[in-house]
Amino acid sequence: MGRARAAALIVRDGKLLLIRRRRAGREYYVLPGGGLEQGETYEAACRREVLEETGLQVISARLVLLYDNMGNPESSFLVTTVPSEPVLGGEEALQNSPENAYQLTWVSPEDLMKINVVPRVIRELSKNIPWNSA
């Protein structure tokens, strides 16, 4: 079994925060998040990863889905953050290059259905999130 992962659904002004990835000629979008460290809970990993990748401080995190992503346990949390602008940070900022690009982007519910979002379960999950929350 692979490494467990925690991801964040951050909604603001009717849009979801995603990381646009361009790598090896492929473009796709992922939720902010990452692998659990030794002894870390899913929620703690979610809070840490959001701060590292976006610079946003998490106020609250509510588990909305725990699922199997190609043999790896993955969790998604509906997250409320301090209302500041996200800034790419952590390993993603260090590794960011034209060949391996990371870009924070806000995506509408309509656009979410058109883009290559990974894993695809995010599309289904998005139907149950409050798009009009803060």
Structural domains counted in the chain:
1
For residue 134, tell me if it sits in a domain: no
φ, ψ of residue 58 to 5 degrees: the values are -80, 130
| Percent share of the chain, pLDDT over 90 | 78
Q: How confident is the model at residue 134 (pLDDT cuts 50, 70, 90)?
A: very low
pTM over 0.85? The answer is yes
Range of the domain at 97: 5-126
Whether residue 126 is predicted with pLDDT greater than 90 in this model: the reply is: no
pLDDT reported for residue 133? 56
CA atoms within 13 A on the CB side of 84: 12
40 in a structural domain? yes
* 132 within domain boundaries: no
Provide φ and ψ at 93, rounded to 5°. -70, -40
Q: What percent of the chain has pLDDT over 70?
A: 97
25 assigned to some structural domain: yes
Residue 94 lies in a domain: yes
Q: Does the residue 98 lie in any domain?
A: yes
CATH of the domain at 69: 3.90.79.10
Structure confidence by residue, pLDDT tens digits, 84-115: 999 999 999 999 999 999 999 999 999 999 99
131 within some domain: no
Using DSSP, state whether 97 is helix, strand or coil. Answer: strand
Q: What is the distance between the alpha carbons of residues 117 and 104, in angstroms, rounded to a whole number?
A: 13
Whole-angstrom distance, CA of residue 27 vs CA of residue 101: 9
Asked, for residue 133, whether it belongs to a domain, the answer is no
